[in-house]
Amino acid sequence: MKGGLMAALSENVLTVNMLLSVFFLPGIYAHSCDGRTPLVIITTPKPTAALSGSCLNVPCSFTAAPGDAVFDSSRETRGAWIKDGNYIFDISNGVKTDLVEITGNLSQKNCTSLFSDINTSQAGKYFLRIENGGLKGAACSDPLQITVEGKSFTLLNSTKLQKYFSSFVFIISSLTQTSKDY
């Protein structure tokens, strides 16, 4: 009797597991990968958060999945970050380069990127699209997720400072490099 109960429970667990796989797991890839096998896999810090108004340097590397198309480091490699909500399989949908610059050497599979002047509208998922010869793929299975915290700040120019304080104010800063220098 005990063996029959265990067999029935095992069968029920297997049935539930199969149903979950059929109804819920395809959605993981269907939303981002459009039912395709990811050809590019990225490695980035998780989670990634930035303070509004700042720059965010994201260390990143990628690997190309084995398949018919092979990554060739001697060929020109193009890349772009594409924000969720855009068609991620077209490199022309990439984020403007004044907002994000890939500073790493894509030919060496280094996709380190600098996101400039982060604001709350830039929060969300980003997918890396890589094109290298016959290899054209998006890192659709594991996007970069950026959260933006805090409020942006602006510096007052000297005219506004004079208006508020009726005298000159000297601001001493220890900042030696701009975000573009990183």
Say what the pTM is.
0.65
Is residue 163 one of the residues assigned to a domain?
A: no
Mean pLDDT of the chain: 75
130 neighbors 66 (Cβ within 8 angstroms) = no
CATH number of 66's domain: 2.60.40.10
Is residue 147 one of the residues assigned to a domain?
A: yes
**2 and 66 co-located in one domain:** no
**109 and 142 co-located in one domain:** yes
Residue 123 banded pLDDT, cuts 50, 70, 90: very high
- Output Rg (C-alpha) for the chain, integer angstroms: 24
Is residue 68 one of the residues assigned to a domain?
A: yes
Token pair recorded at residue 19:
């149903």
For 53-56, which contacts have Cβ atoms below 8 Å and span 24 or more sequence positions? 53/117, 53/118, 53/119, 53/150, 53/151, 53/152, 53/153, 53/154, 54/117, 54/118, 54/179, 55/114, 55/115, 55/116, 55/117, 55/118, 55/179, 55/180, 55/182, 56/114, 56/115, 56/118, 56/146
Number of H helices and E strands in the chain, helices first, is 3, 10
pLDDT digits (tens, 9 = 90+) for 19-42: 333 333 333 333 468 788 888 999
The parent domain of residue 124 ranges over 36-153
Mean pLDDT along residues 62-83: 91
**13 and 85 co-located in one domain:** no
Amino acid identity, position 104:
G
Is residue 140 one of the residues assigned to a domain?
A: yes
**12 and 93 co-located in one domain:** no
